[in-house]
Structure 1
Amino acid sequence: MMLDAIDAQTPGFPQFEPSTSRIEIDPNGDVDFILKTTNRQQYVWPAEAGTGTLARRRPDPVNDRKEAKDEYQFRVSSRCLSAASPLWSRTFNGPRRQLPRNQGARLEIEQHKWDATAVFILLSILHGRSDNIPQQVTLDTLTQIAVLVHHYKCHEATNSVVSAWINALEKDPATQPPAHHGRESVMWLFVAWVFARAETFTSLAALAMYMSEGPMERMSLPFPGAFVYAIDNARHKAIEDFLDNTLLLRDSLVDPAWQCPAQPHLSAQCSSILLGQLVRFLVNQLGMDVFSSNGQPNRPFYGISARKLDAAVTEGLPHLSWRGPREITTVGEVADEHCLLHACSLGDMMRPFVERMKKEIPALSLGDFPRHQLAS
């Protein structure tokens, strides 16, 4: 008997009749894998949930009551599970192995909250049931399966099937890893970590450091704590480097000794114009209270990203056009009636800060975060 909770958006996956809760993966199996309160693996981005970091599944009173009654029993083989997973091997064969309640009865193993479709597909892979394995899956289903593979440490047993799924998703422009940071990129990042897709992992980790506007959003995915710390710390350092250089520029423009590189005789006028534009930048882009000694933003820099600062400098700082005399011979006297268009640009002064900020974003590699690391 088959599962009724199949993902309707999984391409090529057969649909089954409803109200079926007992599924025989191996009709001769010696274990009943019982899944209760299912389908809680929902990954919601904060903007969709209307919540802050670490967004969880949104409560749904009607469906929650229904799901609370859900129970699926999968008839499986302890031999197949033990061969694929060290966790299951300890469960069935270790010194603290679980035993059936009654002699001659099947062993019952209970789990909660896993997605029923993901469990069904994973168990089918581990039992070689190719008739139950879809040719393609959605990114959501792949992520749910990745969580299970990470939990049960059955990477090798699933590698060939999962690689085909990932290759298919990567080839489709609609499902390939995105160029923007959000829900899909975080799911892809987790998939890349679990299934050792090195290039995807490195590029999406850099995307998270560059575009995040707060602590790394995990959507309850079990990323290793060291990885989350690395992402957040690199982002903090990049923003701090930019902020430090920007404040040094502010202080230099305030200094009466500052010399305009284009027309030194107009240093006072030039510094005043640049300083005014810089103050507007600090207020509008960094949320600083420039009139307070405690107005400087601090970690975790909510609402600020390296990408925003990059765009604000390279795209949002116009060159302020003004003209000044070629030279001044005496106070207030212009030697030449023709004035020059002044060359100084705040954007040109701050672009090196952007480049330094980008260099603070490291290229993280899979080897830095082994898959056996504990999740945060």
Structure 2
Amino acid sequence: MKPSIYEFDEDSNTELVLDTCPPHSFCWKNETLLDGKEKCKKKNNDQRRKTKAGGPVEEVAAEEPAARDTPFNESPAMLSARSGSEHDEGFNHDQARPPMFSPVKDQKVDDDPTCRITEKPLGECPGIVPGRVRLRTLISRQHLKLASPVFRKMFAGPYVEGVTNDRGLRRVSATDWDPEAFVIVLDIIHGHHRSVPKSLSLEMLAKVAVIVDYYGCHEIIDVFVDIWLKEMEKCPPTIYGKDSVLWLLVSWVFSRADTFQSSAGLALKHSERLIMVENLPIPAIILDRIDDERQDALSQVFSAVYGLLDSLCDQSHCSYECSSILLGSLTKELGKRGILNPRITWPFAGYSIATVRSMIHSFRSPRWCSSASSVSYYGCSQHHCNLIEKLAPTLEEIEKMLPVLKLKDFQV
């Protein structure tokens, strides 16, 4: 039985302190998925500037912990701790970097103020830095060692986290995790399954996925992932945007093949540039592949468009009149979109496969009757040539050739 909300084991032997921003949402802007902490960091920086302006700089600097962008700071010796959770060689360590643990040497834990175990109450409290919060919990390191190779390495190595103080407690610090998601993961690791919610929002599931990927505790979370995704997978995102990219993140971390395929396909057809993520575990190789395929498809489409423009200028198709009319129409359509001169080239920023398809189907062609058309009492017959008719077959063929991006293609 769980002793309290923030005490996860009756025989807790480790204090875990999370220093983070208040709960925040993911942000989606200009094809970039942000973890939402930038606003918090900006606010903190503003607070620091105001504090420094109103008082001695030395006092502020003495209170502030070193700025950290990741949950831990990492040393090269610790990179192997998370190798199992990095799915492929293309994993971007700038997006989700693993932790660093500080060597202890001859220092006693109680002599280090950052590692001193205090009798502060468990739970949330204001952080040292304005605008941040601290979550103090008591945990069982045995449970964490069994569930996570990162914690196992942490407690075994010559690091501060591996040393016990005179109270028999060790101290572990984490940074920037969502507090609610972090508690959910700790509840599952400690076996408090009644405390785990039976359903999660997509945003909360993505926050859990980020933590799970970081600590490499996929196996112990799997049963709950099946429960959470059972209903969510019935109505996946169908519009490209923040939710669909979060869906891609979740499907990658938890190895959901069908969900990954649909999310990657949505991004391939509707993204307008390389998708960027900030400190989130979507490997760069996946995002690069999506954008490479987008650019390849658009290169073929625009080659067909400009090829038609050149052929209308140099050759007569069904007639001189027809070529001249279609040439003028295509010139106007490309000109009003700003892609006539200069012609658009790689990387086709601002254009998706879907928007270019819509653009081509919106091309107008003049309605006219040629002298060769049949004439009746009711007038002449309309000439059948138009721009869409000449470009649609090529466009359809290119869309048919778009690859299906599968999860197994990116897993080692």
- TM-score in terms of structure 2 length: 0.72
Contact conserved, 2:373 with 2:383, CA < 8 A, in 1?
Answer: no
The aligned counterpart of 2:198 is 135
Other structure's SS at 1:240 match:
helix
Counterpart mapping for 1:174-253 below 5 A: 176-218=235-277, 220-253=279-312
Note if 1:34 corresponds to 2:24.
Answer: no
Could you tell me how far 1:44 is from its partner in structure 2?
0.4
Q: Which moved more, 1:155-164 or 1:35-44?
A: 35-44
The aligned counterpart of 1:368 is 409
Question: Which consecutive residues of structure 2, in runs of 5 or more, have no partner in the other structure?
Answer: 48-125
Contact conserved, 1:326 with 1:339, CA < 8 A, in 2?
Answer: no
Counterpart mapping for 1:98-117 below 5 A: 98-100=161-163, 102-117=165-180
* CA distances 1:171-198 after superposition (whole Å, capped 9, x unpaired): 3xxxx32111001101011101111111
The aligned counterpart of 2:65 is none
Q: Which amino acid aligns with 2:352?
A: S
RMSD: 2.8
The aligned counterpart of 1:312 is 359
Could you tell me how far 1:239 is from its partner in structure 2?
0.8
Counterpart mapping for 1:16-55 below 5 A: 23-39=6-22, 42-46=25-29, 53=32, 55=34
Note if 1:279 corresponds to 2:334.
Answer: no
The aligned counterpart of 1:93 is 156
Contact conserved, 1:325 with 1:337, CA < 8 A, in 2?
Answer: no
Q: Aligned pair count?
A: 325
The aligned counterpart of 1:345 is 386
The aligned counterpart of 2:56 is none
* CA distances 1:207-233 after superposition (whole Å, capped 9, x unpaired): 101101222143542211111110111
Q: 1:346 to 1:167 in 2, by over 3 A?
A: same
Other structure's SS at 2:162 match:
coil
Question: Which consecutive residues of structure 1, in runs of 5 or more, have no partner in the other structure?
Answer: 4-22, 261-266, 329-333
Identity of aligned residues (%): 31
Cα separation, 2, equivalents of 1:221 and 1:41:
15
Cα separation, 2, equivalents of 1:31 and 1:228:
39
Other structure's SS at 1:323 match:
coil
Q: Which moved more, 1:233-242 or 1:269-278?
A: 269-278
Could you tell me how far 1:56 is from its partner in structure 2?
5.6
Contact conserved, 1:323 with 1:340, CA < 8 A, in 2?
Answer: yes
Q: Which moved more, 1:116-125 or 1:316-325?
A: 316-325
Contact conserved, 2:326 with 2:365, CA < 8 A, in 1?
Answer: no
Could you tell me how far 1:342 is from its partner in structure 2?
0.3
**2:368 paired residue among 308, 312, 322:** 322
Cα separation, 2, equivalents of 1:337 and 1:141:
66
Q: Which moved more, 1:103-112 or 1:337-346?
A: 337-346
**2:317 paired residue among 237, 259, 280:** 259
Cα separation, 2, equivalents of 1:52 and 1:135:
32
Cα separation, 1, equivalents of 2:149 and 2:24:
23
Cα separation, 1, equivalents of 2:403 and 2:22:
36
Cα separation, 2, equivalents of 1:2 and 1:313:
62
Contact conserved, 2:31 with 2:272, CA < 8 A, in 1?
Answer: no
Other structure's SS at 1:232 match:
helix
Other structure's SS at 2:161 match:
coil
RCO greater where, 1 or 2, for CA within 8 Å and sep 6 or more?
Answer: 2
Cα separation, 2, equivalents of 1:212 and 1:99:
46
- TM-score in terms of structure 1 length: 0.78
The aligned counterpart of 2:348 is 301
Contact conserved, 2:35 with 2:280, CA < 8 A, in 1?
Answer: no
Note if 1:167 corresponds to 2:219.
Answer: no
Contact conserved, 2:28 with 2:34, CA < 8 A, in 1?
Answer: yes
Could you tell me how far 1:126 is from its partner in structure 2?
0.8
Could you tell me how far 1:125 is from its partner in structure 2?
0.5
Could you tell me how far 1:308 is from its partner in structure 2?
0.5
Q: Which amino acid aligns with 1:212?
A: S
Cα separation, 2, equivalents of 1:250 and 1:54:
38
Q: 1:322 to 1:344 in 2, by over 3 A?
A: same
Could you tell me how far 1:40 is from its partner in structure 2?
6.6
Contact conserved, 2:21 with 2:40, CA < 8 A, in 1?
Answer: no
The aligned counterpart of 1:59 is 39
* CA distances 1:269-312 after superposition (whole Å, capped 9, x unpaired): 11122122222332345x31x2x4xx122333222111011122
